[in-house]
């Protein structure tokens, strides 16, 4: 954005300098605005993430970042995801990708696209950035019936260190 001021003046025809202006006839202010001629572009390519299925809810699992080479409102961005899913949410102002529902027990990856849109007129939207998040299932704890048995101290067995047994 730039601003220019042009003044037109009346002078006697004997001079060509601004200091001899008899009267200012008109003043024109020109405000040059940025044309919203660039769409936002993402700084990274598509992303594949493996995420523990026990990750805490509301955790930031990724942050998307786009840039727009326009200026002013034309360069201010918001982010959104399509298709909407119940497990992840993209924060419009920051691009943070949050886990909002448990992925415990999910076997297949969750795929969605993130877009960036500017605040210009008309608004321009980026090409999609695909995010694929695969749940990694942590091994479950063994039930008590499958845990190895611990020998009973009252049975007469005593614990000895290996170094004492060998000497």
Summarize pLDDT for 88-136 with one digit per residue, the tens.
Answer: 999 999 999 999 999 988 889 999 999 999 999 899 999 999 999 999 8
- Which residue's entry shows tokens 């090409």? 127
- pLDDT-derived band at 157 (thresholds 50, 70, 90) equals very low
CB count in 10 Å sphere of residue 68: 21
What is residue 116's three-state secondary structure? strand
The arithmetic mean of pLDDT across residues 33-62, rounded, is: 91
* pLDDT band (50, 70, 90) for residue 160: very low
Summary mean pLDDT of the chain: 80
- Burial, 133: exposed, middle or buried (Cβ in 10 Å; 0-12, 13-18, 19+)? buried
Q: Give the phi and the psi of residue 35 in degrees, each rounded to 5.
A: -85, 135
Distance between CA atoms of 140 and 136, rounded to whole angstroms?
A: 12
Q: What percent of the chain has pLDDT over 90?
A: 49
Q: What pLDDT score was predicted for residue 119?
A: 93
| Bond preceding residue 41 cis, omega within 30 of 0 | no
Mean pLDDT check: name the lowest of 23-32, 48-57, 87-96, 104-113: 23-32
10: left (phi over 0), alpha (psi -120 to 50) or beta: beta
Which of 38-52, 121-135, 143-157 is predicted least confidently?
A: 143-157
Find how far residue 59's CA is from the centre of its chain.
13
Banded model confidence at residue 19, pLDDT cuts 50, 70, 90: low
pLDDT of residue 105: 86
């Amino acid at each position: 954005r730039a601003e220019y001021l042009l003044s037109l003046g009346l002078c006697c025809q004997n001079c060509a300098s601004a200091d001899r202006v008899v009267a200012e006839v008109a003043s024109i202010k020109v405000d040059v605005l940025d044309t919203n001629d660039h769409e936002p572009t993402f700084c990274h390519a598509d992303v594949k993430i493996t995420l523990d299925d026990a990750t805490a809810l509301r955790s930031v699992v990724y942050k998307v970042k786009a840039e727009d080479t326009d200026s002013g409102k034309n360069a201010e961005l918001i982010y959104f995801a399509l298709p909407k899913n119940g497990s992840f949410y993209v924060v419009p102002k920051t691009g943070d990708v949050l886990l909002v529902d448990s992925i415990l027990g999910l076997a297949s990856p969750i795929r969605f696209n993130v877009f960036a849109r500017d605040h210009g007129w008309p608004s321009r939207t980026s090409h999609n950035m695909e995010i694929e998040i695969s749940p990694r299932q942590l091994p479950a704890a063994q039930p008590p019936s499958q845990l190895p048995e611990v020998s009973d101290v009252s049975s007469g067995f005593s614990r000895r260190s290996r170094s004492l047994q060998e000497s």
